[in-house]
Structure 1
Amino acid sequence: MAYRNGRGGMSRQDRAKQFMPFAALKGYEEALRKKEKITVPKAELSEERGEELDRALRQIRKNDMVTVIYFCEGEYLKVTGMVSRIDGTARLLKVVDTKIPFEDLYEVSVQSYV
């Protein structure tokens, strides 16, 4: 047996390799994570809830800090950040780099500065 470090033992790098995780099935962990995701149907908003959202959207301005809950690909996501764009014609709210169509919004709240 040839020793690499000249001291009669394994090199530190070789010793570390024996403890590295072994992935026998590539992509298996990712597949499990996808399977764990529970998809939900998009909630239908009541007329009253829709009006509340419309009022909130009319008050929001560019550079406001907001927290938004929205529907995306079978799940509801929450994002907090600065409004980089709000377009009533295109019906689009952009929070930092996340573009959210108005019809996917569930809840919008402006963060107050204390």
Structure 2
Amino acid sequence: MSGPYDDIIDLPHPTSERHPRMSMANRAAQFSPFAALTGYDAAVRETARHTGARAELTEEEKSALDAKLRLLVPGADAAITFFQPDGRKEGGAYVTVTSKVKRIDGPAHEIILTNGRRIPIDDVLEVE
């Protein structure tokens, strides 16, 4: 069987004497995706990130929480679940921190833990 390229089919691959062969990494870089919109992926990820809403406590839950808060004394171990607002978006997430209570600051309305964390009492959901 003969074809139009029979005269060149068995010739060696041409190589330039002036230009060295391109490395495989550089060759692959030519075909890598181009990010025309810088920061677009980060903006999409930020928009897709889920934040929760703050839970509203009933009067019974508030009184039970108030009773637990009165039992907190300096040096007591406590697991405190509180609402931590998101710095970039509306909403936030509930976080549980386990530490010893350093003191309760009445005027500032905060619980101060020995690890240095300050938790606003209005954000507390549960104390164990």
For the aligned pair, the TM-score class normalised by the smaller chain equals 0.5 to 0.7
Task: Provide the rounded CA distance (Å) in 1 between the counterparts of 2:102 and 2:43.
Answer: 34
Identity in percent: 35
Instruction: Within 5 Å, give how 1:1-114 maps onto structure 2.
Output: 37-73=49-85, 74-95=92-113, 96-109=115-128
> Of Structure 1 and Structure 2, which has the larger fraction of its residues in strand?
1
Give the secondary-structure state (helix, strand or coil) at the position aligned to 2:99. strand
Q: 5+ unaligned residues in a row in structure 2: which ranges? A: 1-34, 86-91
Aligned residues: 86
Extract unaligned runs of 5+ from structure 1: 1-24, 110-114
Deviation at 1:32, TM superposition (A): 8.4
TM-score (norm 2): 0.56
Q: Distance in 2 between matches of 1:32 and 1:62?
A: 45
- For residue 54 of structure 1, report the CA deviation from its aligned partner: 0.7
TM-score by length of 1: 0.62
CA 1:65–1:32 in structure 2 vs 1: closer, same or farther (change >3 Å)? farther
Question: How large is the RMSD of aligned CA atoms in angstroms?
Answer: 2.5
